[in-house]
Amino acid sequence: MRFNFIALIGLSGLIASGQVWAGPGIKHWQTQQGARVYYVNTPSLPMIDVRVIFDAGSARDGQQQGVAALTSALFDTGAGAWNADAIAERFESVGAVFSSSVSEDNAWLSLRTLSDKTMAATAIETFDAVLSKPTFGAADFEREKTRMLAGLKHREESPGAIARIAFQKALYGDHPYAHPEEGFIDTVSAIQVSDIQRFYDNHYIANNAVVVIVGDIAEDPARELAQSLVSHLKTGHKPEDIPQVTLPKQASAQHIAFPSSQTHVLVGLPGKHRKDPDYFPLYVGNHILGGGALVSRLFEEVREKRGLAYSASSQFSPMYREGPFAISLQTRNDQTKQALAVVDETLQTFIDHGPEEAELTAAKNNIIGGFALRTDTNAKLLEYVSMIGFYQQPLDYLDTFPSKVAAVTAADVQKAFKARIRQDLMQTITVGGE
Amino acid sequence: MNQISKILPIALSVLASPAIGAAEDGATVHEHVLGNGLKLLVKEDHRSPVVVSQVWYKVGSTYEPGGITGISHMLEHMMFKGTKNYPAGEFSRIVAENGGQENAFTGTDYTAYFQTLEKSRLEISFKLEADRMRYLDLKAEELEKEREVVTEERRMRTDDRPRAKMQEHFNAVAFTNSPYQNPIIGWPSDIAHYTIADLNDWYQRWYAPNNATLVVVGDIDTRQVVELAEKYFAPLTPSQITPVKPQSEVDQLGTRKLTVKAPAKLPYVLMGYKAPALTTPGAEADVYALEVLAGILDGGNGARLTSRLIRGQEIAVSAGASYDMGSRLPYLFMLEATPSQGKSVFDLEYALKHEVQTLQSELVDDNELNRVKAQVVAHDVYQKDSNFFQAMELGLLETIGVGWKKSEDYVARIRQVTAEQVRDVARKYLIDDHLTVAYLDPQPIPTTATPRKSSGGRHAF
């Protein structure tokens, strides 16, 4: 059965905000072809998750914005001798679930299967073919491209999506992070099937792969599985490093008129990267400012005190380079100025004075006391191990996370926010009616 | 089905019914009823040192009379606005300080509150939930602010989303007298006119231990949970609960059609046939067959709608079917699709009806049937990855009135479904006279950008 409901806040924060984990050890090794493998044995449920991640995200699109996403969308439309129907039949007849997706930094293929030997064998054989022998047939390409273009048109119905696109552009200018993963109508229209094959050949290579295995599978079979998956991939040249992000030269504000009853507001600038020296002060500080789901300064000032919005939050999205820091809210059109003023003042007060000791303690208690919730499912574990593997974080990253949170002082937070969240460079996007 | 369901953090495919059944590890559900009528369901799951606690009330939008639609949801918001013992904000502050995550949700047939916590903190949840079950302190000035929040929520979820708006109009046309004709969040003029007395009446009428189910799943000891529940919830006094009137939908006497015009870029068609639910007397076997039928049409990339309409004929860029057996009153079997360039909503309506006719005239083959069943068996395992969804299912089944034990039958009942039954339910329920069709007619979206570069930071706003 489905669940039809509306939540007080929206449940996304429930699983998306997690950052930490103290749990069973992650095993790590490298295959002969240079792929990095990360493995966690969780035998309590008879299922296995496998994910193969590549440095093949939208930051690798070049001028062909959307090519990474379109490549990803084509994997299960044809592989080896199998067409889309055959692939689907093979996965679904054993209850396996295949998915593929891209972010700015990476692209991945995922498989969830029962660990039953016969079923897992069918699922993995199919996954292997989809990963290493995709056919990128002309007819499949044209159809998926058409569907993607329809999705891009659909995107134009959403003031929130329009705001995010303008925001990324304002923050990143000409940097590869500046465009949305799925590209634009004109850039996707220009992509040819040969571009897909070329993108795949250049990026989906063994020495550019990270394999993550979580579930009911012993270490030896996991080693064989990882080895076998990457052995069918070619090796090649890893792409150049994603260039450094340069901060915007000055603050700017842009309004896009849209026939909606609410104005979508985004305020921010390039924030922090995955190995940022200010990672923890910014993480803890943001939890107090606007990261905590029902308890934060922005939530209190914008929603609880003034009823200006349903959701009001701030977040860092750390990436290989500085991912966005974004304050977001939606409010009735005629309240936009007032809401922006509240955001401005809340942020300025936070930067000028830092957090209060009691707030800092409460935030740490929340993060550390709820530590176990962050990876209480295989699904969440898979996400964290993938992050650790792709960004080459230390294997004890999660084990040391709580102590790093505990060590943050109010002065650290204030200093980091003052240095990094520069009001003189802040980018503001508003999309909505007058 | 509802656009709102798309906010769920974990994708529930049509077949991802979170049926639990008796787990392989022997985990069973323990039921305990307190003297005041509160029902406690406990399921031990020791995979992680965490616990989820949910309080489900038997009240939701289908309980609401005209004029105050959405009041269950409004009350859900007000439940965070303080009691005599814990002033506004204290509840959430205490949960957060204890490392907890919390929220609440309102549906057509339920209102539920939850906390997820490290396992030793369960007592915090019981203490706070027991308090607000009977001692909410409803204040007029808090209502005024929260009404604005809910109005913003409505704008965000419905008013500015063409397909959500269409769904709302669709339900209002599909149902003549069933309360499913009203949106969960309420009609705008109703939201604008709740009084504090309305909220108080609603709270007094439905928030009582004998109208609630407490569900706890996680790394806990059942006996200790029972003791804790007795300690905090047993002192609460029960209420006289007057059952809601049946409001049985009158028979539909022919196809209904509507058009919704909204600023949009893509046309879209939504179709719904009246269908029974688990709660419908005598329809249980049909309900499982309809669930399988939904899987035949839309149970993954190999299912008929994707294979035939998106690939194959290439007339749709998206297409789906959905069926919700877990409602208190009969709801709908839904079909939806977005046409490809050059195709119309009418082409798709025709194609979707053709798929229905095929199901009525030809038996599905064993491969298809087995595929659906294999997915159900597998998803039954996958769902156990999450305590939260295990608790959700127990709470939902109990609250809609069929009892949590139904969860144990799910996989076996699906396995029993035959090709003949699938054909027969298609013939019985997917009939034109019980069909409502809505078309989204896209209107132009004028957009203009006005960049305002500025150099003085603070004045950028």
The answer to whether B244 and B205 are in contact (CB under 8 A) is: no
Q: Given an 8 Å threshold on Cβ–Cβ distance, is A6 in contact with B185?
A: yes
Task: Please report whether residue A7 resides in a domain.
Answer: no
Is A402 found in the same domain as A256?
A: yes
Is A260 found in the same domain as A220?
A: no
Could you say which of A231, A264, A298 is where a domain stops?
A231
Q: Given an 8 Å threshold on Cβ–Cβ distance, is A376 in contact with B387?
A: yes
CA B344, CA B342: separation in Å to the nearest integer? 7
Is A337 found in the same domain as A188?
A: no
Q: Facing residues of B438 across strands?
A: B258, B270
CB-CB neighbors (< 8 A) of A159 in chain B: 160
Task: Please report whether residue A242 resides in a domain.
Answer: no
Give the residue from chain B lying closest to A367, CA to CA. B99
Is B110 within 8 Å of chain A by CB? yes
Task: Please report whether residue A241 resides in a domain.
Answer: no
Average pLDDT over residues B402-424: 96
In this prediction, the answer to ipTM > 0.90 reads: yes
Is A277 found in the same domain as A205?
A: no
CB-CB neighbors (< 8 A) of B148 in chain A: 307-308
- Residue B457 makes CB contacts below 8 A (sequence gap 6+) with A251, A422, A423, A424, A425, A426
Show the tokens assigned to B238: 């029960």
Question: Measured between alpha carbons, how far is residue A95 from residues A43, A52, A123, B307, B370 in Å?
Answer: 19, 20, 9, 17, 10
CB-CB neighbors (< 8 A) of A342 in chain B: none
Q: Given an 8 Å threshold on Cβ–Cβ distance, is B184 in contact with A4?
A: yes
- Residue A273 makes CB contacts below 8 A (sequence gap 6+) with A318, A319, A320, A321, A322, A323
Cβ pairs bridging A and B (under 8 Å): 343
Is B26 within 8 Å of chain A by CB? no
Is A94 within 8 Å of chain B by CB? yes
Count helices and strands in chain B by DSSP H and E runs: 15, 12
CA B382, CA B384: separation in Å to the nearest integer? 5
Average pLDDT over residues B419-446: 97
Nearest to A307 among B145, B159, B448 (CB): B145
Distance of CA B33 to the CA centre of its chain: 26
Task: Please report whether residue A244 resides in a domain.
Answer: no
- Pick from B15, B291, B385, B454 the residue to mutate for testing the A interface (most A CBs within 10 Å): B385
pLDDT (0 to 100) of residue A300: 96
Give the residue among B66, B76, B70, B79 at the shortest CA–CA distance from B151: B70
Task: Please report whether residue A294 resides in a domain.
Answer: yes
pLDDT (0 to 100) of residue A18: 32
- Our CA-based measurement puts residue B271 at a distance from the nearest CA of chain A, in whole angstroms, of 18
Read off the CATH number of the domain in which A387 is found: 3.30.830.10
The predicted model scores a pTM of 0.93
DSSP assigned state of B243: P
Is A166 found in the same domain as A305?
A: no
CA B448, CA B100: separation in Å to the nearest integer? 44
pLDDT (0 to 100) of residue B8: 26
Three-class secondary structure of residue B30 per DSSP: strand
Is A265 found in the same domain as A177?
A: no
pLDDT (0 to 100) of residue A293: 85
For residue B366, with 0-12 CB atoms within 10 Å meaning exposed, 13-18 middle and 19 or more buried, which class applies?
exposed
Q: Given an 8 Å threshold on Cβ–Cβ distance, is A4 in contact with B314?
A: no
Is A365 within 8 Å of chain B by CB? yes
Task: Please report whether residue A247 resides in a domain.
Answer: no
CA B152, CA B311: separation in Å to the nearest integer? 39
Q: Facing residues of B33 across strands?
A: B39
Could you say which of A169, A200, A231 is where a domain stops?
A231
Q: Given an 8 Å threshold on Cβ–Cβ distance, is A143 in contact with B311?
A: yes
Show the tokens assigned to A433: 């009616």
Is A303 found in the same domain as A197?
A: no
Is A116 found in the same domain as A197?
A: yes
Is B73 within 8 Å of chain A by CB? yes
Is A41 within 8 Å of chain B by CB? no
pLDDT (0 to 100) of residue B456: 38
Residue given tokens 């070329």 in the structure block: A198
Q: Given an 8 Å threshold on Cβ–Cβ distance, is B159 in contact with A261?
A: yes
Is A343 within 8 Å of chain B by CB? yes
Q: How many angstroms separate the first and last alpha carbons of chain A? A: 42
- B447 band by pLDDT with thresholds 50, 70 and 90: confident
What are the pLDDT tens digits along chain A (434 aa)?
Answer: 445 555 554 333 333 333 333 355 899 999 999 999 999 999 999 999 999 999 999 999 999 999 999 999 999 999 999 999 999 999 999 999 999 999 999 999 999 999 999 999 999 999 999 999 999 999 999 999 999 999 999 999 999 999 999 999 999 999 999 999 999 999 999 999 999 999 999 999 999 999 999 999 999 999 999 999 999 999 999 999 999 999 999 999 999 999 999 999 999 999 999 999 999 999 999 999 999 889 999 999 999 999 999 999 999 999 999 999 999 999 999 999 999 999 999 999 999 999 999 999 999 999 999 989 999 999 999 999 999 999 999 999 999 999 999 999 999 999 999 999 999 999 999 999 97
- Our CA-based measurement puts residue B242 at a distance from the nearest CA of chain A, in whole angstroms, of 24
Q: Tell me the residues of chain B between 155 and 194 that have a Cβ less than 8 Å away from chain A.
A: 155-157, 159-162, 184-185
The answer to whether B237 and B36 are in contact (CB under 8 A) is: yes
- B4 band by pLDDT with thresholds 50, 70 and 90: very low
Give the residue from chain A lying closest to B376, CA to CA. A95
Is A308 found in the same domain as A208?
A: no
Is A40 within 8 Å of chain B by CB? no
Three-class secondary structure of residue A286 per DSSP: helix
DSSP assigned state of A44: T
Neighbours of B200 (CB within 10 A): 14
Q: Tell me the residues of chain B between 402 and 461 that have a Cβ less than 8 Å away from chain A.
A: 445-461
Could you say which of A196, A231, A266 is where a domain stops?
A231
Residue given tokens 């991912």 in the structure block: A323
Give the residue among B328, B408, B386, B329 at the shortest CA–CA distance from B114: B386
- Residue A82 makes CB contacts below 8 A (sequence gap 6+) with A90, A126, A129
- B448 band by pLDDT with thresholds 50, 70 and 90: confident
Give the residue among A2, A14, A331, A163 at the shortest CA–CA distance from B4: A2
Is A218 found in the same domain as A336?
A: no
Task: Please report whether residue A417 resides in a domain.
Answer: yes
Task: Please report whether residue A125 resides in a domain.
Answer: yes
Domain residues for the domain of A18 are 12-231
Is B393 within 8 Å of chain A by CB? yes
Nearest to A255 among B152, B374, B450 (CB): B450
Domains and CATH numbers, chain B: 3-7+20-233 (3.30.830.10), 256-443 (3.30.830.10)
Residues of B annotated as catalytic (active site), given as ranges: 76
Q: How many angstroms separate the first and last alpha carbons of chain B? A: 40
Three-class secondary structure of residue B262 per DSSP: strand
Is A221 found in the same domain as A93?
A: yes
Is A275 found in the same domain as A206?
A: no
CB-CB neighbors (< 8 A) of B161 in chain A: 157-158
Q: Given an 8 Å threshold on Cβ–Cβ distance, is B157 in contact with A9?
A: no
Q: pLDDT exceeding 70 applies to what percent of chain B?
A: 92
pLDDT (0 to 100) of residue A4: 55
CA angle B426, B427, B433 (to 5 degrees): 100
Q: How many domains does chain A have?
A: 2
Q: Facing residues of A111 across strands?
A: A50, A98
pLDDT (0 to 100) of residue A3: 52
The answer to whether B327 and B402 are in contact (CB under 8 A) is: no
The tens digit of pLDDT for each residue in B36-45 reads: 999 999 999 9
Distance of CA B246 to the CA centre of its chain: 20
